[in-house]
Structure 1
Amino acid sequence: AKFDMSDEKKIIITELPVDTTSESLMNSIENAYKAGRIKISSIDDYTTDHCQIEIKLPRGVYAKDIEKALYAYTDCEKSISCQMLVIRDNMPVAMTATEIIKYYAKKLTAIIKDELEYDQGRLTEELHARTLERIFIEERIYKKIEQMKTAEDVVKAVKKGFVPFKAELVRDISDEDVETLLRIPIRRISLFDINKNKDQVAAINKQLKEISRKLKHLKDCAVDYLEGMLKKFKEEELVRHTQIQKFNVVDVKAVAKRDIPLRYDDKGYLGTGVSGGAEVLRVTPYDRIFILRRSGIYTVCDVPQKLFVDTGMWYCNLAEKDVISKVLFTVIYRDPKNGYCYIKKCRIPSWIMNRDYLMAPDGMEVLHVDTREKFTFTLKYKKKPRVKILSEDFDSANFEEKGHKAQGVRLSDHDTESISVQSADAQIGLFEGSK
């Protein structure tokens, strides 16, 4: 479709796409509006002889803002597959317009080649005949048959007379050639014009030379033929009604706006269809999200309508590799068998969709996950005989970053009871958009 966007608060559709009516186009625009894909105030059809569909825009929305969305979500842009079923070699074949043009281009060059070769053969025979006639008369070979008594002797005498001139002949002389020469009337022999014969031979040789050139450049001949055909038509009959333009592909994902709230409630449900709860971030239907559960399992999946991820979710963000790969995850976990605590600092460079990964080794209890570059925390140990130190402070900056598949570093040899993270107010939330 073609738009008139001279008024920034209004779009007028002046041309419809192929195989589309004003009614069907308006229905597609209304459906996109109801689905929340585009924002419009009203749509009216003033079409008469020419298309005129007027779209008015609401406050804060301008024509340039929804132009790409109209092409992406409505019938304002339609793709057409130009594929035709034709009969080729007595068989039905599906071909594109390009393939058909190539096929007929080859066929045209083949026809031109056949015609040129036919003309070449005809002119060669004519050259042979003119040469025989000249030699027959000029060298008076006809005199040698006067004493011959049989037809066979006559033919032999004529052929023998041409032996000294064999180099001048196009091909060997045949019996048919002899018969043709013998049918030349006496009057024509007496009035034979040698200069006229030479002119005829020169003209034939010139034509043969031109044919040889064309046979070496068949494509150029085909182009010349087509250009000659075009000259036979009137200029107004050759006006193109379509336009050749390069279209930029409108990516639906690129024009989609992140205006759908992704919520997480106190029951452990996450999704765009969750009512109530906290808004984690805003997404589009085409986004993918990274989820780190309380258990330390992380997953990348499409934006869910409603997904149970359990309470205490540690982290949630858009699953864009250039974003997630920059996040430094610090995981503090405990071994339930002996109560020892470990710390692991890593980044997540890659993943496979809808697959569960462990941030901590299997069977470990995740106590805390942090995304700050550095923070301090305190481990409190269980009271046991001979245990004098009941708490110990740590700084995450003192531990090195490792690969996401590596084991953590043990913090102490004491049975840990709990953990408290200092400066927690600096990390308001691990959810993107909650800051």
Structure 2
Amino acid sequence: MSAEEENTIGEGEDSNPSEGSIFDLEDGGDDHLIETGHVTELTGMYKDWFLDYASYVILERAVPHVNDGLKPVQRRILHAMRQLEDGRYNKVANIIGFTMQFHPHGDASIGEALVQLGQKDLLIDTQGNWGNIFTGDGAAAPRYIEARLSKFALEVVFNPKTTSWKNSYDGRNQEPITLPVKFPLLLAMGVEGIAVGLASKILPHNFNELIDACIATLQEKSFELYPDFATGGLIDVSRYNDGLRGGIVRIRAKISRYDKKTLVITEIPYGQNTSTLIDSILKANEKGKIKIRKIDDNTSGAVEILIQLVPGIDPDKTIDALYAFTDCEIPVSPNSCVIQEDRPVFMGVTEILKNSAHETVRLLTSELQIRLEELEEIWHFSSLEKIFIENELYEPIKNCKTEEAILQTIDRELKPYRKKLRRDVTHEDCVKLSNIPIKRISKFSAFKADEQIKQTEAEIDEVNNHLNNIIPYSINYFRQIKKKYGASRTRKTEIRNFDTIEATQVVMANEKLYVNRAEGFVGTGLKKDEYVCDCSDIDDIIVIRRDGKYKITKVNEKQFAGKDIEYVNVFKRNDERTIYNAVYRDGKSGVAYMKRCSISGLTRDKEYDITRGTEGSKILYLSVNPNGEAETLKITLKPRPRLRNLVFDIHMGELAIKGKSSIGNILTRHPVHKVELKEKGISTLSAKKMWWNESVMRLDEDGRGTYLGEFSGGDKLIVFTRSGMVRLSSYDLSSHFEDDMLMLHKFTPGKVYSAVYYDGKHKYYYVKRFAPEPSEKPAPFIDEHPKSQLIILSEQYHPRVEIRFGGQHRKRNPEVIELSDFIAVKGWKAKGNRLTAYEVKEIVELEPLRFDPPVAESLPEPEEEMIAVEPDEPEIPGPQKPTKPGKKRMAEEKVKIEEPLKKEKPGKIEIPFKVEEPARKKSPGKKEERDTIEVPGKKEKPGKPEEPVKIERPDKKEKPVKPEEPVRAEGPGKKEKPGKPEEPVKIERPDKKEKPGKPGKKG
């Protein structure tokens, strides 16, 4: 309240009531005061006082100043600590008491602000128990903990020569208006304050990135700034909006799989601590959103929260559920508001940083100008002193009896030398010369005086050079700060694009769904009715009735969905691989239709129709196939005159998959008696194409990222990490992967990988080639010593590396090694071979020269007298007999293979037929007496010996066989499955004359 207002109110109180009282009301009964004479309205007083109060809170309490980035309480704490600074620690209680000379709001606010400054580990060195930002534990009492200014603060924050001052609240002391901070301190520490009708929330940023951005600003280059938190974690900055209102960042805890039954949280979101995080997890568990068995908090110097899962729960799905239902993921809305020229201003972090960079240039310029003035004074007095002593100008003052006479004499004697000086001689200069001690005059050295003057002139030139090149000087200043204090201040929060986690996809099934089909009720409260499946309380369900009507609705305790329910289950949105196979009868025409469709893109509680929608339509058969399976159905028709075929089969895989509103294909126009499942089918959908989306570190099936291949059935992914671990993973979209993942692709059993690594125990480089073990449990393929390091991992079969030597062997020429020639394939647990005994500077991978597989694994070219054995059959050599040369030549020339040979799998080598000597036939009916050509077949189980392929060769001349009818020989090998009969080998023998029209007999 101003003095004028106080006088006004005072006069109003002393005035004569008859002239108008302040309690008089206007006509109409308004409840506000009338301004009569010197009386002020109460509404006006409230408005003025409230604005004064709000302005005070905004300017003096809650919002930081843009120049130094400090709130008033923080500025006063640092100023008090600078006055107490003597290099030793001070009790926090003493600092609080000393700060109260400048801050009138009590010790509690000062103590809390001081602890927060100390926990940021930038401006204050702490000693004692200052609390824990991870666990949320508070600091010890102020009398038990100590603090002092850090070296960084002493160098960057303070300079009395460039500081503007004002009186403290009581006028007894001076305090800084703003501190001359030559660093973007506001963005480094962040701030959060709530004023009256205004709030400010600026997130902290990385120390080194801020300096780089300042340098980029001075170089007129672009830059990007994103938050970085001491608690680590992950952050999505896609909607940061430069820290202004309307922006939002999503922050996640860092969660990984400890083992199949345990998850571990190693980093937590900004603003959270382990206590609040665990509380949110327990609440989600109580509500059934997640299923956990136990939580262990082992946090001390680093965060470690172990989450024990219930047996059978998928760890990857639980990680997503933790992000969806707990504080493991939180949104933060920044609101960058600062004080500039005594007004609150909304300013983005980019503008704040540019302002700080230019403010730093201004402060550095001021410091250089002040230093230049000081050097000019040093040069001036040094030159003046040299003239005074060297020319013995002190002799005339011996006869002077007063101080005024002495000063006048000195001034008179210096007049001839004033042209040698850079400025005129002042009264203060004469006083300084008169105070020079006799001892100094007697020991004066002109040489030393000249050296000092030259040194001062050199410093002046240097300062002038800095002023003329102030931008490069400022850039060098920032680089020195980064080099001196930024080594340990690396980024702790990983920037990543988050995928959208749908709660319905990751929520745990905490309810049971029941249905009363006849009455048409469905819900979680029908405990006495038919059980359907487990579900969650946020799931959608699909209900299909026998008349073909269906709809999507939320899970409720009890809900009427319509009588005669045919199918009910949890509905997954955007699931196009679940195929509905249906046979229905049209109510109007009586025609039976069949259709296959996927159901997606539905509106909740809106009714749809599988049939044509005519009255009296009915579903005759319905199946829901999660992977697009197509079954074989047995259709039975009602007997009708002249209707012969009453039963027939139909395979649903012959139908195309269409939209949910399609009519389908006509099955029959005759009345259908019943439809039965004859045989379950397999999936008719193509394999899933999968991609790796590196921006969100997740698998993707929409074509974003790096293509991994097509997956189906039991296919797996293989994951290699930079720490030397390998494991298999499913291709489920919910799968999570290690942050240090090095390689990810489709797993091929038996594929060979090459690894070059540094063994921390033996301090040598090793190389190994191995085929990983097919296991989902992470396994190390390099030495587990803490200093061991994976250098190169290659999936090429003939990788090449170049070894560049260092140390005492740096003069050696680089050595190129092809690893497939250097070492054979060994077990994945093998240590490998030492790569070199010399000191290594670096090892780099080169482009391979060969891409072909090794000879031992390639297939031989088929020869004329070799017939391929089926790839899945082992090699069984047949009995060998010497063959006459003539007969063998005949076989080589005349045998022709008419059926194309099936290509073998790697590792199977073709076995040639052994042609036996023809013998006389004793009895054509006995197999053992026939001439034979034996083909080795697959080894049968005991009791089922393989019979050789036999071709009859009767000695009697038979009539010639027509050329187009070759002699056929069949081997009674392993009985093939239906639909895949083994084709007989056809062999032409034109030199053997047979009877016309009689082909060779089968063996």
CA shift at 1:327, angstroms? Answer: 1.3
1:12-411 pair list within 5 angstroms? 28-39=280-291, 60=311, 73-75=325-327, 79-88=331-340, 91-94=343-346, 98-99=349-350, 101-105=352-356, 107-108=358-359, 111=362, 214=470, 218=471, 221-227=473-479, 244-246=492-494, 251=501, 253=503, 255-258=506-509, 260-266=511-517, 267-320=519-572, 323-336=575-588, 339-348=589-598, 350-354=600-604, 355-364=606-615, 365-371=617-623, 372-380=630-638, 389=643, 392-397=646-651, 400-401=655-656, 403-404=658-659, 405-410=661-666
Q: What is the TM-score when the length of structure 1 is the normalising length?
A: 0.54
The residue matched to 1:225 in structure 2 has which SS? helix
Label 1:322 to 1:255 Cα distance change in 2 as closer, same or farther (>3 A): closer
Label 1:273 to 1:99 Cα distance change in 2 as closer, same or farther (>3 A): farther
The residue matched to 1:375 in structure 2 has which SS? strand
Measure, in 1, the Cα distance between the counterparts of 2:612 and 2:321. 46
Q: What is the TM-score when the length of structure 2 is the normalising length?
A: 0.27
Measure, in 2, the Cα distance between the counterparts of 1:347 and 1:4. 39
Measure, in 1, the Cα distance between the counterparts of 2:493 and 2:420. 72
Q: Which amino acid aligns with 1:32?
A: A
Label 1:45 to 1:421 Cα distance change in 2 as closer, same or farther (>3 A): closer
Measure, in 2, the Cα distance between the counterparts of 1:52 and 1:294. 56
Q: Which amino acid aligns with 2:638?
A: K
Contact 1:39 1:57 in 2 (8 A): no
Structure 2: 5+ residue stretches without partners: 1-133, 136-254, 373-414, 423-455, 624-629, 682-1003
Deviations 1:108-130 (A, max 9, x none): 377379879x98xx9xxxxxxxx
Measure, in 2, the Cα distance between the counterparts of 1:64 and 1:317. 24
Q: Which amino acid aligns with 2:637?
A: L
Label 1:342 to 1:52 Cα distance change in 2 as closer, same or farther (>3 A): closer
Label 1:224 to 1:295 Cα distance change in 2 as closer, same or farther (>3 A): farther
Label 1:56 to 1:322 Cα distance change in 2 as closer, same or farther (>3 A): closer
Measure, in 2, the Cα distance between the counterparts of 1:62 and 1:332. 39
Label 1:56 to 1:88 Cα distance change in 2 as closer, same or farther (>3 A): closer
Structure 1: 5+ residue stretches without partners: 123-184, 193-199, 428-435
Aligned residues: 339
Measure, in 2, the Cα distance between the counterparts of 1:75 and 1:191. 72
- The equivalent of 1:164 in structure 2 is none
Q: Which gives a bigger RCO, structure 1 or 2 (Cα 8 Å, sep 6+)?
A: 1
Q: Which amino acid aligns with 2:286?
A: K
Label 1:410 to 1:68 Cα distance change in 2 as closer, same or farther (>3 A): closer
Label 1:308 to 1:278 Cα distance change in 2 as closer, same or farther (>3 A): same
Contact 1:112 1:222 in 2 (8 A): no
Q: Which amino acid aligns with 2:528?
A: G
- The equivalent of 1:420 in structure 2 is 674
Measure, in 1, the Cα distance between the counterparts of 2:662 and 2:310. 54
Measure, in 2, the Cα distance between the counterparts of 1:26 and 1:367. 51
The residue matched to 1:83 in structure 2 has which SS? coil
Measure, in 1, the Cα distance between the counterparts of 2:337 and 2:282. 36
Measure, in 2, the Cα distance between the counterparts of 1:33 and 1:426. 39
Contact 2:295 2:306 in 1 (8 A): yes
Contact 1:314 1:369 in 2 (8 A): no
CA shift at 1:401, angstroms? Answer: 3.2
Label 1:103 to 1:83 Cα distance change in 2 as closer, same or farther (>3 A): farther
Deviations 1:328-359 (A, max 9, x none): 523322233xx421313131263233143222
Deviations 1:228-286 (A, max 9, x none): 5679x9x79x986x972228869573653345332222332223343233332333345
Contact 2:586 2:612 in 1 (8 A): no
Measure, in 2, the Cα distance between the counterparts of 1:64 and 1:39. 10
CA shift at 1:186, angstroms? Answer: 7.9
Deviations 1:184-225 (A, max 9, x none): x88677999xxxxxxx999999987766655xxx4x554433
CA shift at 1:35, angstroms? Answer: 1.5
Contact 1:11 1:63 in 2 (8 A): no
The residue matched to 1:369 in structure 2 has which SS? strand
More helix by share: 1
CA shift at 1:420, angstroms? Answer: 0.8
CA shift at 1:375, angstroms? Answer: 0.8
Question: Which range is displaced more, 267-276 or 56-65?
Answer: 56-65
The residue matched to 1:353 in structure 2 has which SS? coil
CA shift at 1:374, angstroms? Answer: 2.8
Deviations 1:94-145 (A, max 9, x none): 556x3464243454377379879x98xx9xxxxxxxxxxxxxxxxxxxxxxx
Contact 1:108 1:222 in 2 (8 A): no
CA shift at 1:298, angstroms? Answer: 3.0
Contact 1:16 1:51 in 2 (8 A): no
Determine what percentage of the aligned residue pairs are the same residue.
Answer: 22
Contact 1:258 1:284 in 2 (8 A): yes
Contact 1:292 1:314 in 2 (8 A): yes
Measure, in 1, the Cα distance between the counterparts of 2:637 and 2:314. 58
CA shift at 1:34, angstroms? Answer: 2.5
| CA RMSD, 1 decimal | 5.8
